[in-house]
Structure 1
Amino acid sequence: MTPITEVAGRRLSLSNLGKVIHPATGTTKGEILHYYAVTSQALLPHVQNRPVSFLRYPDGPDGQRFFTKNPPPGTPSWVRTTPVPRSDEPDATQIVVTDLPSLVWAANLVVEFHTPQWTADEPGMADRLVLDLDPGPPAGMSECCAVARWLRSRLAADGLDAYAKTSGAKGLHLLVPIEPTPSDQVSAYAKALALEGEAALPRLILHRMNRVLRPGKVFVDHSQNAAAKTTAAPYTLRARTEPTVSTPITWEEVEAARDLVFRLEDIAPRLSRFGDLMSPLTDPARARPLP
């Protein structure tokens, strides 16, 4: 029998709470739902008013994984959806996670949360820029941090503030709050930054994902600024062997460039210590014009 739980006034059917999702650590689905409940105040502002895409992994990271943008069958009527522009599907809609009940409902599906760089009010008008730093072995987090420091300095020269988080996989994400700007313009600026980085640090930075050139370098993926692309949201769990989290980090941690893997049990203590290090992204007063 599926237990019915009341979450902030909404009745939810939460299933298989004892099911182990991450066998490496024995992490259960119930522990995952608890994680999202205690992290909700930090996470929700980052998905607020943004259509979410789900990477679902209901049988754990070694089971079937599938990416979905459409609202799944059985979506409750009280879960908000929004129209989204999609050339192949004129009447497409996506979920918008607005509150704790809709967050817990979505987490019960066992998902990663991914969002575009624009809000539901202004599709294709980005209010943040993202650079995904993806190392090619033997390069790792240390090389990603060196690239992040270079990019932070370069962005600052254009009057832009960068905030860092782990991807929850093997790299880093840099996010920059910007005044709403067409996604194609943001994409062009981000690509120019990656090209400039490759020219400045040719032994370290790549601007395109060329597998032959990848070993020992960091691919600065600028493509996630395209209107149709999405990025893992801050505080989302990832479908990895261990329950790693895409975790906001300080620039002091980037400087130190070590121990930058965080699991779900690490996040509540970090929020107590630092608060939400990504909160400037949700403050319109911190947005700056793209040069």
Structure 2
Amino acid sequence: MTASAQQQPNYPPLSVFVITLNEGEHLDEVLSSVAGADEIVVVDSGSTDATLEIAKRHGARIVHNDWPGYSKQKAFAITQCSHNWILNLDGDEVMPEGGLQMIRERIAQGDINGIWIHHDDIFMGHSLKKARHHKYRRVYRRDKSKMDTSVIVHEHIEVEEPTAYLPIYLKHYGYDTAHGYMDKLNKYSLLKAKQRLEQGRPCSLPRLLLIFPLMFLKFYLGRQMIWSGWRGFIKANIDAFHFFLTEAKLYEMAYRAKREQNPKK
């Protein structure tokens, strides 16, 4: 064995998976940012743009699976990965330079089951990094984690402790334009409303009344979007409206059901 080979770190193998549907706009940058991963798996649900060609160019293994919902699609993708350590990216999330190496070095220590990292949301073409963002468990051991497939949207994975945090900010393009972001949140609010109804959590009138101002303050001041100028003000309003819209759709469902039962009232 050569001296250079002896010095090569012994990192646990890492699978990266991405679920896609017409993600051609950013996928090349996404997959380039994880070049060197031991495996890249793209689970596609019927793309008609350049998504599959880009994935092939990066040596990804492509698996087709008809869309079953966010959490179920990610749970399926986990089963397609060959390695125990998994990094999950969406088709509009880019790993920063050096991020993959930081993950490799941390999991090589052998004392954790998962890693929390951040989003760096791009909004109106620029970063919102000054805002406070949620941490996300995007790196985890498959044998120590479980995807909650009962949720329809905003999927959640349970990871056994201990976990660790790394100061990695994924460049996230999903919220870039106000129009595109509103389109997404309009769809998400309907899914969340249906999920709430299934869970027996209908709309309450006090929540309908108060949710918008409270959530605006949470995002604008609590999440510190105030430091992003007018862009932060606009995004905080959109985020708050998402919560209001969920309540409004819940109210609409209850109202329509009541009218069907008592059409004369």
Q: Provide TM-score, normalisation by structure 2.
A: 0.24
Larger Rg computed on CA atoms = 2
Task: Looking at secondary structure, tell me which structure has more helix per residue.
Answer: 2
**Which structure is richer in relative contact order (CA contacts within 8 A, separation 6 or more)?**
1
